[in-house]
Amino acid sequence: MVFALVACGSSNSNNPSTSTPGTSQPSGEAPTGVVAGTVVNFRLPVDMACLLPWAHATAANVYVQIYDTLFQPYKGDWNDIRGMLCTDYTMSEDGLTWVFQITDKATFSNGKKLTAQSIADCYDYTIKYQPGLFEGVESYEVTGEYELTFHMSTPNPGLLANLANVYSGICDAELVDQYGPESDQAAVGSGAYIVESKTVGSVTILKANPNYWIEEQQPKIETLKYWYIPDNNTAMSALQTGEIDVLDTNDYNTYDMLQGIDGLSYQTVYDQCRVLYINGQHGALQDVRVRQAIQCFIDVNEAEMAYHGGYGRVDGSFIRGTCDYSVPSGITYDVDKGLALLKEAGVDPSSLVLKMISNTDVSGYGENIQAQLKEVGITVEITTYDVTTSEAVIASGDFDLGIFRTDADVASGLIMAKTWLASDATKRVIWGSEEENARVDALIEKAAACITMEEQDEVMKEIQALILNELALAVPSPTPGRYYIYNSKLQNVIIDNSTCRVDWRWAYFAN
Amino acid sequence: MLKFICKRIIIAPVLLILSSLLIFLMINLTPVDPASQMLVGNYTQEQVDALHEELGLDDPLIVQYGRWLWNVLHGDFGKTYTSDRALVKNEVLPRIPVSLKVALITILVVVAVGLPLGVLCAVKQYSLADTLINLICKILGSVPQFLVGLLLLMLFGVKLRWLPTFGFTTWKHAILPVITLALPQIATFVRTTRSSMLDCIRKDYIRTARSKGASEKIVIFRDALKNAMLPLITMIGTEFAKLIGGAIVVENVFAIPGLGSRVIIAINQKDIPTVLCCVLFLSMFFIIATLVMDILYTLVDPRVKSSIMGSGKKAKKKAEKEAA
């Protein structure tokens, strides 16, 4: 197999995982094929509705097992994207034509041959449900039995990463035509596992594919059971009784409570950013000095301790794609500097009454910011909504301070920027003056025109530096971890370092 | 009697429509655009507009509601307003038997335990047994359900390892959730049975029965208990209906795929079709439960039956004739 290697830029040296990047330390010899009778019981905190690859974030843990993609983040590492169904590719100099060579070895688990036509047919559905993955794609056509050609309207260096995203997994589109794009009966891929059964709201069972086409990546565990357990306490109990082997949670208390228990292994991956956005369109906040002052009044380390108990991560990054775009933050916690800035702007801190939009997902964090700002005399009134409503309120611009989560489900930083940061973004979070917005938009356009990933990475850093350091429209916030606690007998557990999905092809039980 | 049942069955759809309309209007008050829930990643305004047109979201609310109702009447509950756009019926219908099973087993346990204890308390009023049972009921009634659930889970699941901690696949899985749901219900049921029985025991007809030499067993179980059953039937019916959609905490703690927890998720996601479908079924079960309650009243208390039978024109004429 010829590997198609795509670097994600130079900014990724700070790997987020506490252990080896998203990987447990294997011990002993890995078996060569499926070990009969081996079962992994995996806890899902959110139920999944549909098992088709483009459908739902909560089912993405299952998609990784069932579907193959054109490319893959090799062993969960988005800095090492390699070919999967694609054996080779070429890109024209202007970045507007991509030709992908497809393997002739792959078959769907129902025995049907996987060809370039199968991929094109599947993408016809994917593009409808996940249009962001096809950013810049004008059309694609089958140019040979095992050759697929993409025509771009604008270059998109993130295309390979997008085609490595689990949502662009390849399923048998003929079955989708037959059963409909919401039917689990059509959930047939060419991946290492096959769907055996699914009970709504309870469990989804996968079995190892006995005819998996990638010889060197044969699964070792026979059965995967994904249990939907909404309550963290119940999941903790189930882990202790051995009813489940892997607990996936974003609650640091759960992680904390299970520390030090014999027979358990731990991994932390950081996949989300929760950012405090400052609306520069209202009242005193229109003055950039006032916004900078607010940045100075917030001790992010204290917020991290209060909200994530020390298990989170403080960094200067809030644009997330397949990799971080951390920039040196020009913001430091400095109350005196903040007060001086307010004085310069002619604003009395006690005259500031700010409306903060929070949501149930970040409760605790907003209160901490409120307490910190109160210390300097600024009043913050918090309104807490559910996540979807808070997203809609922030997108409407009706806020002074807004906390919202942005995660790495989108494949490239450019998609993230277009989804959240642009002034015409449907989930807009950046609200500056017209001139300030225009500057952000211009940089996003510049990023969109880049042909190489390296160039685009540099522009993404510029965007972040502009929003954080110059325009002061956001406060880089502590990033929570996603915690995996699992049976120590499980070896070589590979967790995607960006999207936190476990690829069970690599794991095995120690003897 | 048949007329009474028919009348109630005819009113039922009206109630269902009203309850679903109310929920539909309330959930539409929130500023969330369902299109933003369904589209993932970087989508354009054109895509939002296209989805609006596809789903008819730009139509007046009453038109949207009418369309939904028409589709439901044709067995189509629509698709979820989430990114997967799953079929609502696939999401909701498999949960109904689970919720019914949990509610039914719980009510049976409540009646089986609560009724004899309540009768015992009434018959042995102010005895040690009465005081003890009352005390226990007060404690059980005041402890939050999630705490009871977690304590039972810790004890029987984690410490003793006798029972599974989550899921609802075998009879063993039902034990802890049913106990958790039943304990506070038993407490209320015992107290209601006790006070209802005490009311009846003090009535003249009980004194008359005793004076006629009827045995204490017959007096308690035939005369007193039968008359004390009216408020208990009301309680059983309403609690059963409430349990179908209201066991949210227990469904969450024990990971039971029931209706209650699903409707809460749907509300949080502003998934209107799923919420409406759940509300429709929950309202239907409530209406059925109250209808069954009314029928049971007539079996237990002849006065209720005669008042129902006596409300019609024919019955009035018959009564007038008899009077003449």
The mean per-residue pLDDT over the stretch B206-235 comes to 86
* Burial label, A421 (beta-carbon count in 10 A; 0-12, 13-18, 19+): buried
What is the Cα–Cα distance from A315 to A311, expressed in whole angstroms? 13
Burial A255-271 (b: 16+ CB within 10 A, else e): beebeeeeebbbbbbbb
For position A20, what pLDDT does the model report?
40
For position A338, what pLDDT does the model report?
95
ipTM value for the complex? 0.81
In this predicted structure, the answer to whether residue A24 has a pLDDT above a threshold of 60 is: no
Q: How confident is the model at residue A7 (pLDDT cuts 50, 70, 90)?
A: very low
Q: How far is B106 from chain A (nearest CA, A)?
A: 20
CB–CB of B230/B152 below 8 Å?
no
Secondary structure (3-state) at B64: helix
Which B-chain residues 280-299 have CB contacts (< 8 A) with chain A? none
Tens-place pLDDT, residues B82-116: 877 888 998 899 999 999 999 999 999 999 999 99
Per cent of chain A over pLDDT 70 is 90
For position A323, what pLDDT does the model report?
58
For position A433, what pLDDT does the model report?
95
Strand A353-359, strand A379-385: pairing:
parallel
For position A301, what pLDDT does the model report?
87
For position A190, what pLDDT does the model report?
96
What is the Cα–Cα distance from A215 to B142, expressed in whole angstroms? 60
Tokens of A27: 């011990």
Per cent of chain A over pLDDT 90 is 53
Unique residue bearing structure tokens 């089958």:
A142
Residue ranges in B143-247 assigned as alpha helix (H): 145-152, 171-201, 204-211, 216-218, 225-246
Helices (H) and strands (E) in chain A, counts: 14, 24
What is the Cα–Cα distance from B71 to B78, expressed in whole angstroms? 8
CB–CB of A187/A66 below 8 Å?
yes
Q: Is B78 left (phi over 0), alpha (psi -120 to 50) or beta?
A: left
In degrees rounded to 5, what are phi and psi of residue A151? -110, 130
Point out the residue among B41, B79, B167 whose CB comes nearest to the CB of A419.
B41
Helix axes B259-268, B95-123, angle to 10 degrees: 120
For position B209, what pLDDT does the model report?
86
For position A18, what pLDDT does the model report?
35
Chain B CA closest to residue A51: B84
CB–CB of A190/A108 below 8 Å?
yes
Chain A CA closest to residue B27: A389
CB–CB of A227/A244 below 8 Å?
yes
The mean per-residue pLDDT over the stretch B121-127 comes to 92
For residue B59, give the amino acid letter.
Answer: D
What is the Cα–Cα distance from A266 to A259, expressed in whole angstroms? 8
Point out the residue among A56, A183, A419 whose CB comes nearest to the CB of B83.
A56
* HEC string for A95-117: CCEEEEEECCCCECCCCCECCHH
The mean per-residue pLDDT over the stretch A126-130 comes to 86
What is the Cα–Cα distance from A86 to A98, expressed in whole angstroms? 12
For position A153, what pLDDT does the model report?
94
In this predicted structure, the answer to whether residue A464 has a pLDDT above a threshold of 90 is: no
Using alpha carbons, select from A57, A129, A187, A12 the residue that is nearest to residue A499.
A57
Apex CA A78: angle with CA A460 and CA A93, to 5°? Answer: 60
**Distances from the Cα of A311 to the Cα of A75, A259, B282, angstroms:** 24, 12, 42
In degrees rounded to 5, what are phi and psi of residue A125? -80, -45
What is the Cα–Cα distance from A387 to B267, expressed in whole angstroms? 11
Point out the residue among A47, A132, A396 whose CB comes nearest to the CB of B41.
A132
Residue A129 with chain B: CB contacts under 8 Å? 40, 83, 85
Highest mean pLDDT among A358-372, B2-16, B35-49: A358-372
Q: How many other C-beta atoms are found inside a 10 Å radius of the C-beta of residue B318?
A: 13
Average pLDDT, chain A: 86
- CB–CB of B255 and A243 under 8 A? no
For residue B262, give the amino acid letter.
Answer: R
CB–CB of A497/A17 below 8 Å?
yes
In this predicted structure, the answer to whether residue A328 has a pLDDT above a threshold of 80 is: no
* HEC string for A434-447: HHHHHHHHHHHHHH
CB–CB of A100/A70 below 8 Å?
yes
Q: How confident is the model at residue B51 (pLDDT cuts 50, 70, 90)?
A: confident
What Rg do the C-alpha atoms of chain B give, in angstroms? 25
Q: Which helix (H) or strand (E) holds B35?
A: helix B34-38
Q: How confident is the model at residue A218 (pLDDT cuts 50, 70, 90)?
A: very high
The mean per-residue pLDDT over the stretch A78-83 comes to 86
CB–CB of A466/A440 below 8 Å?
yes
Tens-place pLDDT, residues A433-448: 999 999 999 999 999 8
In this predicted structure, the answer to whether residue A459 has a pLDDT above a threshold of 70 is: yes
In this predicted structure, the answer to whether residue A482 has a pLDDT above a threshold of 90 is: no
Strand A264-269, strand A272-278: pairing:
unpaired
Q: Which helix (H) or strand (E) holds A13?
A: none
The mean per-residue pLDDT over the stretch B40-57 comes to 80
Residue A404 with chain B: CB contacts under 8 Å? none
Q: Which helix (H) or strand (E) holds A246?
A: strand A246-249
Tens-place pLDDT, residues A337-392: 999 999 999 999 999 999 999 988 777 888 999 999 999 999 999 999 988 889 88
B179 touches chain A (CB under 8 A): no
CB–CB of B34/B55 below 8 Å?
yes
What is the Cα–Cα distance from B270 to B244, expressed in whole angstroms? 22
Which A-chain residues 432-471 have CB contacts (< 8 A) with chain B? none
In this predicted structure, the answer to whether residue A425 has a pLDDT above a threshold of 90 is: no
What is the Cα–Cα distance from B157 to A57, expressed in whole angstroms? 31
- CB–CB of A389 and B30 under 8 A? yes
| DSSP conformational letter for A19 | S
- CB–CB of B42 and A55 under 8 A? no
Tens-place pLDDT, residues A136-176: 899 999 999 999 999 999 898 889 888 998 889 999 999 99
Which A-chain residues 324-383 have CB contacts (< 8 A) with chain B? none
Cα torsion A418, A420, A423, A425: sign: positive
The mean per-residue pLDDT over the stretch B170-179 comes to 94
In this predicted structure, the answer to whether residue A237 has a pLDDT above a threshold of 50 is: yes
In this predicted structure, the answer to whether residue A16 has a pLDDT above a threshold of 70 is: no
Residue ranges in A130-275 assigned as alpha helix (H): 159-164, 173-179, 232-241, 252-257
Residue B258 with chain A: CB contacts under 8 Å? 201
Q: Which helix (H) or strand (E) holds B252?
A: helix B248-253
Beta partners for residue A483, in sequence order:
A249, A268
Q: How confident is the model at residue A25 (pLDDT cuts 50, 70, 90)?
A: low
Q: What is the DSSP string of A52-66?
A: STTS-GGGHHHHHHH
CB–CB of B272/B28 below 8 Å?
yes
- Find the range with the poorest average confidence among A84-88, A244-248, B73-77, B289-293: B289-293
Which A-chain residues 380-399 have CB contacts (< 8 A) with chain B? 386-389, 391-393, 395-396
In this predicted structure, the answer to whether residue B12 has a pLDDT above a threshold of 80 is: yes
Tokens of A455: 């160039």
* Burial label, A303 (beta-carbon count in 10 A; 0-12, 13-18, 19+): buried
In this predicted structure, the answer to whether residue B225 has a pLDDT above a threshold of 80 is: yes
Please give the residue that has the higher pLDDT: either A98 or A413.
A98
CB–CB of B257/B92 below 8 Å?
no
Which of B148, B166, B251, B261 is the best substitution to test chain A (most A C-beta atoms within 10 A)?
B166
In this structure, the dihedral spanned by the alpha carbons of residues A29, A35, A38 and A39, taken in order and rounded to 10 degrees, is 100
For position A4, what pLDDT does the model report?
40
* Burial label, A25 (beta-carbon count in 10 A; 0-12, 13-18, 19+): exposed
Apex CA A210: angle with CA A204 and CA A211, to 5°? Answer: 120
Tokens of B217: 């067993």
What is the Cα–Cα distance from B171 to B298, expressed in whole angstroms? 35
For position B319, what pLDDT does the model report?
60
Strand A478-479, strand A474-475: pairing:
unpaired
Average pLDDT, chain B: 87
